[in-house]
Structure 1
Amino acid sequence: MTDPTLPPPSNPIVVIPARMASTRLPGKPLADILGVPMIVHVLRRAVEAGIGPVVVACAEPEIARAVEAAGGTAVLTRPDHPSGSDRIFEAVGLIDPEGRHDAIVNVQGDLPTVEAAAVRAAFATLSDPAVDIATLVVPITREAERADPNVVKAVLELRPGAAKGRALYFTRATAPWGEGELFHHIGLYAYRRAALERFVSLPPSMLEQRERLEQLRALSNGMRIDAAVVDAVPLGVDTPDDLERARALLSGRSSHISPSPAP
């Protein structure tokens, strides 16, 4: 359990895990979106958040080359990590072995439309000393999503009108039962550094393996996850159709990138 006297994290780093292997869209970090690799779009959004240095944790050197050509920072990690959490943990250890960064924001490398405000909201949720891990949710408005197992639901203890709440469970089922909002979970996380270290050291839990949801490992081991409520679900690019949607969404958006500050 987190020490209730801990101060809020003050020196975060944003890490974007990326790998070329993808069953449905091989090589997707380098997929072209308006003349720019997808991973660079994600990098730009993370830099815009302005919360700290941004690093791409790459499984392959070609991703690193694309990031560095755009003025960003990349670090090569082992290609065989079972999850993005393991990849970002290795990357932070390589970049910051002295432990200067006390929080890590994990922005998935296939979210080219993620808003900078959403990245800031995840990190801000760690200001509560009781919170180990922070994440994001969006109220479900489309009826079809309520029963869709591909839409992960977060079961929150959320007071009316509150902007964040404690996550009690995550599930692919329609939950919770009864009248009221359901929340679509967005897989963007902010970790206290000690929480990430503990998380990656734990074995997969039974419910994690049953639901195929990694965050249940944290809940099963008594770690606290809080979720901030945001307005929109960023498009996750997993298929060629998703890629076309991302191109359409970003076609009217101008972007530029400055080199991210040294971690």
Structure 2
Amino acid sequence: MKTLVIIPSRLSASRLPGKPLLKINGLSIISHVYKKAQEAEIGEVFVATEDQEIVEDVRKNGGEAILTSNLHKSGTDRIYEAVVKLGRTDVELVMNLQGDEPLMNKEDIQNLNSQMTGTKRDFGTLAAKISDKKILENHNIVKVITEESLDISKFPRALNFMRKLNKENNQTYHHLGIYCYKVEILKRFISFKQSQNEIKNRLEQLRALDNNMKINVALAKSSPIGLDTKEDFMAIKKIMEYKS
């Protein structure tokens, strides 16, 4: 059985509109993420988007993209439409790599895929250790609390996800923008209405927890900057230009 990697993306992000098409080293952010997913070599890669401009950009740079409805409430809902349109019957897992994570480590993507392959787990995701206390105060950075401390040999359940953290504990981590789930679990997820918790916090993963779905968390090697603000873009640009 195979893994599909699908990257949800749209231009109308509330905090930084148009961010998928911002360019670094002559390539759009969404195409950088696409190439990062390809480097992991875990399966075919597609971008799922409501915007024709993103479709054209991805295809221009050698990628594959699927045009979806503009009515979706979350990236996971958008991904399910893409999976249905693809109509693959040999897929076990769907990897949801957020379109604003151009610095995601390919080894972390591979690790999450390995942790989920051939198991009965519902959802898998990644989190990194918090090295800077400013992360705790930044509402743009999502935190996760796990049932036990993370290490490379554990894959514990997530207890909660939040933007604002009132009190830190030893099981608090920086949540990364990536998920992995079985196709039937994806179908079950989108059958649920948005929960009030999800809407209030703008975190789709809370819909899963609010409907008693289990999310297991693997420890990531790195803690990449996600792209939410102009300041994030400048920091990511500096890192990527230095590496090129």
TM-score, normalization: structure 1? 0.85
Match of 2:75 in 1: 84
* Aligned residue in 2 for 1:68: 59
Query: Separation in 1 of the partners of 2:58 and 2:203?
Result: 29
Unpaired runs of at least 5, structure 2: none
Residues matched between the structures, number = 243
- 1:34-72 Cα offsets, whole Å, 9 max, x none, are 111111100110000000000011211111111111111
Alignment partner of 2:160 out of 125, 144, 169: 169
Q: 1:146 to 1:20 in 2, by over 3 A?
A: closer
- Deviation at 1:200? 0.7
Distance 2:25 2:150 in 1: 41
Shift of 1:151: 3.1
The structural deviation recorded for 1:168 is: 2.0
- The answer to whether the 8 Å contact 1:58/1:77 transfers is yes
Q: Within 5 Å, which residues of 2 pair with 1:1-263?
A: 10-95=1-86, 97-127=87-117, 129-158=119-148, 161=151, 162-174=153-165, 180-254=170-244
The gaps in structure 1 that reach 5 residues or longer are: 1-9, 255-263
Matches of 1:70 and 1:86, distance apart in 2:
25
Distance 1:47 1:98, change over 3 A: closer
Higher relative contact order (CA 8 A, sep 6+): 1
1:148 is displaced (CA, Å) by 4.0
Q: Which runs of 4+ in 1 moved over 4 A?
A: 175-178
Shift of 1:137: 0.5
Q: 1-side partners of 2:168 and 2:57: how far apart? A: 46
CA 1:64 to 1:116, structure 2 compared with 1: closer, same or farther past 3 Å?
same
Q: Distance in 1 between matches of 2:118 and 2:127?
A: 18
CA contact (8 A) 1:28 1:38 kept: yes
Over aligned residue pairs, what C-alpha RMSD do you find? 2.0
